[in-house]
Structure 1
Amino acid sequence: MTKNRITSLFNIEYPLIQAGMIWASGWKLASSVSNAGGLGIIGAGSMYPEVLKEHIKKCKQATDKPFAVNVPMLYPNIEEIMDIIMEEEVEIVFTSAGNPKTWTPILKEKGIKVVHVVSSVKFALKSEAAGVDAVVAEGFEAGGHNGREETTTFTLIPMVKQKLQIPLIAAGGIATGRGMLAAMILGADGVQIGSRFVASNEASSHQNFKQMIVDAEEGNTQLTLKELAPVRLLKNKFFNDVTELYTKNPSKEQLIELLGRARAKKGMFEGDLEEGELEIGQISGLINEIKPAAEIVEEIIDEFKEAQQALPIF
């Protein structure tokens, strides 16, 4: 593929980024995606600082290509996490769930490229003003924690593109080459893909969860818990318990009590498909096979090129 703003910014072959998902994105997945020509990301959101340090070191051993670390800025050990990232000389950091002004200047002073994840035009512009190198605009279709605006990806991308000067990465509901091409036609310089890589051999998520993603059909996910932090989940017993509680007009405290602690770990990492929180995107209905990450990258890029060549010319 020809170079563009994203491949040039990250020094990668394809403008394809694997999302830094909790309980799924360890060094094995990140290095595999990077070695295949994309940008792999280690998801720090489910790692203690020392665990993250180990994953960074192992990723460096497994690839000589660029990789990144994703850091949710609500993380309780954020300062320790950022210190490790700077000590280990990680070259690219994706931040989310917080104010990009807090860490962007500090990271950039160390020569680190910074990308911030947003769900609206307003926060894309705030990120640009904070000095980030690129923005991930993530639509309502995405798995995990979502924006409150419920703007879909293919509505959000052209609106952000209209206002933004820096490179734009599309995320949410993209798992195929055709989806990648569509996002880029709408103005994205590249795409970030999460759910498709959860169903990969190298993802650290539990096999039970991977299989449930493969078995999922249209309509099997839904956004919920908006009073806490909107999250898209596969429907299971826990999801049904949440739905049942909503019929009683619960307080925020009651929702927090039901959610409890480590619910996502229980589902996605330990494989409890009944009581676990199973975060995945709407695109899971289009994911039909667990396969190596490198094959997923190759499949997406091949389909992208085929779709590009097959575009009808009127």
Structure 2
Amino acid sequence: MIETRFTEAFGVRHPIVQGGMQWVGTAPLVAAVANAGALGLITALTQPTPEELLREIERCRELTDQPFGVNLTILPSIKPPPYAEYRAAIIESGVRIVETAGSNPAPHLPHFREAGIKVLHKCTSVRHAVKAQAVGVDGVSIDGFECGGHPGEDDIPGLVLIPAAARRLDIPVIASGGFADGRGLVAALALGADGINMGTRFLCTAEAPVHDRVKQAIVDGDERNTELIFRPLRNTARVARNKISVEVVRMLDEGAEFADIRDLVAGVRGREVFRTGDLDAGIWTAGCAQGLIDDIPTVGELVDRIVDEAEKLMEAGLPALVSR
């Protein structure tokens, strides 16, 4: 058993978090993660209404009696979702852990705190992590440049970003970006983190609600099989390399505006990838960690394997490298 400030503060057995992945963070996967002793997160905005989010939370409770949380990603947009209503649904549900991401969580914290909810905030820079601590979150998840999804605009890899954040913070730190096995967990702990967040690795498990062809593509791929899209727009996202992502990069490099690529990057097209297994139907998120993934285990098998490998590595140490 590996106990850290994170496991103690958030009440889970293992210092492993399942990323709040759009279209993927639903009850079957989240419950499997919770039952394995890690922290599973339902993705709030995957549910089209706050009422359906409440139903998804109840569905998860039917599948597990272990702690789980909800991811609420707050992004500026022309027609924003009713964030306050989603927040109210989370509070009404009785969930005790929330992961916030995107914008500053400060407007939401008093409501969550009054309800006794612990908040983990996702950041992509040290300065944002320090700000999150100052406004009162209970922990931060720090995303290195290797991560799938939005890595920020600083391009700082985890090997530097994680210890840089850990030395500035007094609250638990979760390392995100490039983690897929026990070696990564040990490395994160050595860098000063209190656990790891995994998205791509959990995407490639038996319980993940995506087509088997998506999972096999991750197994068959390597660490080079991603594209960084939206770079010229200063809204960088790391996604799987396919015909669509390559075309989007080309168009933006040649001066296209967002309006020119809007249809190509529509979220509904990405959802079709997961539903149908047509890998070129749209863009879909994947991180560099796919270079470390070569099987499709159950969530329980994966978590047990990671923890077992990490414990054995820590028990063995590296005595052969030490000269007296």
Query: In the alignment, which residue of structure 1 is the partner of 2:47?
Result: 47
SS in 2 for 1:69: strand
Query: In the alignment, which residue of structure 2 is the partner of 1:72?
Result: 73
Cα shift readout 1:148-184 (whole Å, capped 9, x = no counterpart): 1111112111100111111111111000000010011
Q: How does 1:167-186 map to 2 (within 5 A)?
A: 167-186=172-191
Shift of 1:26: 0.9
Query: In the alignment, which residue of structure 1 is the partner of 2:307?
Result: 301
Query: In the alignment, which residue of structure 2 is the partner of 1:62?
Result: 63
| Residue 245 (structure 1) aligned to one of 245, 251, 257 | 251
Residues 265, 282 of structure 2: 8 Å contact kept: no
Residues 270, 281 of structure 2: 8 Å contact kept: no
Query: In the alignment, which residue of structure 2 is the partner of 1:285?
Result: 291
Equivalent AA in structure 1 for residue 20 of structure 2: G
Shift of 1:86: 0.6
SS in 2 for 1:52: helix
Residues 264, 276 of structure 1: 8 Å contact kept: yes
Q: How does 1:112-131 map to 2 (within 5 A)?
A: 112-131=117-136
Cα shift readout 1:177-210 (whole Å, capped 9, x = no counterpart): 0001001100001111111110111111222211
Residues 227, 246 of structure 2: 8 Å contact kept: no
Q: How does 1:1-314 map to 2 (within 5 A)?
A: 1-49=1-49, 50-74=51-75, 76-226=81-231, 227=233, 229-260=235-266, 262-313=268-319, 314=322
SS in 2 for 1:93: strand
Equivalent AA in structure 2 for residue 51 of structure 1: E
CA distance in 1, matches of 2:153, 2:269: 21
Normalised by the size of structure 1, how large is the TM-score? 0.95
Cα shift readout 1:24-53 (whole Å, capped 9, x = no counterpart): 121111111111111111122322123322
Shift of 1:62: 1.3
Change (3 A) 1:294 1:268: same
> 5+ residue gaps in structure 1?
none
CA distance in 1, matches of 2:314, 2:167: 23
Equivalent AA in structure 1 for residue 109 of structure 2: T
CA distance in 1, matches of 2:96, 2:286: 28
> 5+ residue gaps in structure 2?
none
CA distance in 2, matches of 1:198, 1:164: 30
Shift of 1:266: 2.3
Q: State the percentage of identical aligned residues.
A: 38
CA distance in 1, matches of 2:266, 2:4: 44
Residues 225, 255 of structure 1: 8 Å contact kept: no
Residues 35, 64 of structure 2: 8 Å contact kept: yes
Shift of 1:2: 4.7
Change (3 A) 1:246 1:69: same
Cα RMSD of the aligned pairs, angstroms, is: 1.5
Shift of 1:253: 2.9
Residues 20, 41 of structure 1: 8 Å contact kept: yes
Deviates more, 1:203-212 or 1:248-257: 248-257
SS in 1 for 2:262: helix
CA distance in 2, matches of 1:188, 1:68: 20
Cα shift readout 1:98-152 (whole Å, capped 9, x = no counterpart): 1111211211111000110001011001100110000000111111222111111
Equivalent AA in structure 2 for residue 281 of structure 1: G
CA distance in 2, matches of 1:79, 1:16: 28
Normalised by the size of structure 2, how large is the TM-score? 0.92
